Structures are given as structure tokens and as C-alpha cells.
Amino acid sequence: MTLILISVAGGMGAACRYVLSLWLVHYQGTLTIPIPILIINLSGSLLLGLCHSMYDASPTGMEYLLTTWFLGAFTTFSTFSLESIKLIEDKKWKTLFWYVSITVVGSIGTYGLGYYVLSVIA
């Protein structure tokens, strides 16, 4: 049963990432930073912070379903790495700096924001 839940939650996370990236690509415009992956990783970090704050006192199976399985498939560090390598190959150093900085600092920040907001509300 656990394997089925992992498959369903992971599949839903991956499907959500795919659909959201198709929608967000329309906002790419002339920006060289990969906007879809950036937004997906930042929103995933925010949701992870919310989930950890919600389940901090008493972790349940639902926490694993949402965080490890769904959000694990939704966010995409491997694609972040690929996009970074492409920027290195294209020698877009300034864009690489901003993309990596915004992704790393932004992901930590949005996680913290999600955790803090829900802990204040609860």
C-alpha cells in the first residue's frame, strides 16, 4: 500500500510540475534566468516550510505524503543543476550568479517564510 501511495503522490507532484512549467514558460520572455524552474523550486520550498510547520509537533504519514513524495517530485534540483550547467556552457556568468543566488537564498527564505507564517497562525 505504501508503494502505491508513493507512486500516486510522486506522480501527482511530477504532473503538477509539468503543467506549471508549461504555463510559466509563457512568462519567460527575454529573461535568461529559467523562470519556470525557479518559480517551481521557490514555491515548493514555501510549501515545504508550511508542511513542516504544520506537522512539526506531531509528524504523521500525511507529512511524508506531502513533503517527501509530492514535493520531492514537484521540485527539481536536477533540472536546476542542468539549467546552471547550460548557463556555464553559454558563459552567461552574470545570469548564472543571479539564478543560483536567487534559487538557493530564495528557497531557504521561502521555506522559512512558510514555516514562520503557519507557526504564527496556528
Domain membership of residue 78 as a residue range: 2-121
* Whole-number pLDDT of residue 63: 80
How far apart, in whole angstroms, are the C-alpha atoms of residue 55 and residue 80? 28
State yes or no: 72 annotated in a binding site. Answer: yes
Nearest to 13 by CA among 56, 59, 48, 52: 48
Question: What pLDDT was estimated at residue 105?
Answer: 97
55-to-9, 49, 67 alpha-carbon distances in Å: 18, 10, 10
pLDDT in tens, the chain (122 residues): 788 988 999 999 999 999 999 999 998 888 889 999 999 999 999 998 888 888 766 667 788 788 888 998 999 888 899 899 999 999 999 999 999 999 999 999 999 999 999 888 87
pTM of the model: 0.83
Q: Position of cell 507532484?
A: 13
The burial of 7, by beta-carbon neighbours within 10 Å (0-12 exposed, 13-18 middle, 19 or more buried), is given as exposed
Known binder of ligand: residue 30? no
Per-residue pLDDT at 61: 78
Q: In total, how many domains does the chain have?
A: 1
